[in-house]
């Protein structure tokens, strides 16, 4: 069913996703013809759509601050995440309108060179170079404990050399 107002065609199925389907059905059934009646009806629909557009934040995060600190656009950050995230979806995550799954949060944090906790809590960790993040992501999960042990040994050797 198509609903027409001032020459604008609006499929009722599209508007029903924002909770105005029954309102449109009532308007269509009443065969509203006068401009004033259509205007009042459009205002009611616009108000309902506006209410849905002003959803509360689902979660607080620091994606925007970290992204800006890294000098990345929404598009660039989305492209760095594996698998890539669209600009629109990244914007929803950043504004707290949608909450990413844990694996997506981990991927966003890795792309920003920080931890998932820093993305949520706002305590930006020291930025990890993108090259290190890329290398870490390429290491098989089964090999990561061994790589950590090697890095700890290397760090300890460096500390010993600096102290001695």
pLDDT tens readout for residues 1-49: 444 444 455 554 444 444 444 444 444 444 444 555 555 555 555 544 4
- Say yes or no to pLDDT of 69 above 70: yes
Q: What is the pTM of this model?
A: 0.45
Q: Where in the chain is the domain with CATH 1.10.260.40?
A: 63-163
Query: What is the tens place of the pLDDT at every residue in 119-132?
Result: 988 765 556 677 87
The percent of residues above 90 in pLDDT, for the chain, comes to: 29
Q: Which of 22-36, 64-78, 105-119 bottoms out in mean pLDDT, i.e. has the lowest?
A: 22-36
User: What SS3 state is found at 2?
Assistant: strand
User: Phi, psi at residue 3, to the nearest 5°?
Assistant: -110, 130
Rounded to whole angstroms, how far apart are CA atoms 116 and 97? 18
Distance CA 121, CA 90 (A): 18
What distance in Å separates the CA atoms of residue 32 and residue 38, rounded to the nearest whole number? 6
**Superfamily of 63-163 according to CATH:** lambda repressor-like DNA-binding domains (1.10.260.40)
**pLDDT at residue 81 tops 70:** yes
Expressed in angstroms, the distance from the first to the final Cα of the chain is 81
141 secondary structure, DSSP code: G
Per-residue pLDDT at 89: 95
pLDDT score of 73 more than 90: yes
Stretch (H or E) spanning 87: helix 87-94
């Amino acid at each position: 069913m198509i609903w027409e107002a001032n020459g604008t065609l609006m499929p009722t199925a599209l508007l029903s996703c924002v909770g105005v389907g029954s309102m449109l059905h009532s308007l269509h059934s009443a065969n509203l013809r006068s401009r004033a009646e259509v205007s009042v009806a459009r205002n009611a629909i616009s108000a309902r759509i506006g209410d849905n557009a002003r959803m509360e934040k689902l979660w607080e995060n620091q994606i925007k601050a970290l992204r800006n600190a890294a000098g990345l656009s929404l598009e660039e950050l989305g492209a760095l995440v594996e698998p890539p995230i669209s600009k629109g979806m990244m914007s929803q995550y950043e504004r707290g309108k949608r909450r990413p799954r844990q694996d997506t949060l981990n991927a966003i944090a890795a792309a920003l060179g920080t931890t998932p906790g820093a993305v949520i809590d706002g305590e930006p960790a020291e930025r990890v170079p993108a090259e290190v993040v890329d290398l870490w992501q390429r290491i098989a999960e089964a090999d990561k404990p061994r790589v950590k042990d090697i890095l700890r040994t290397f760090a300890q050797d460096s500390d010993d050399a600096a102290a001695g």
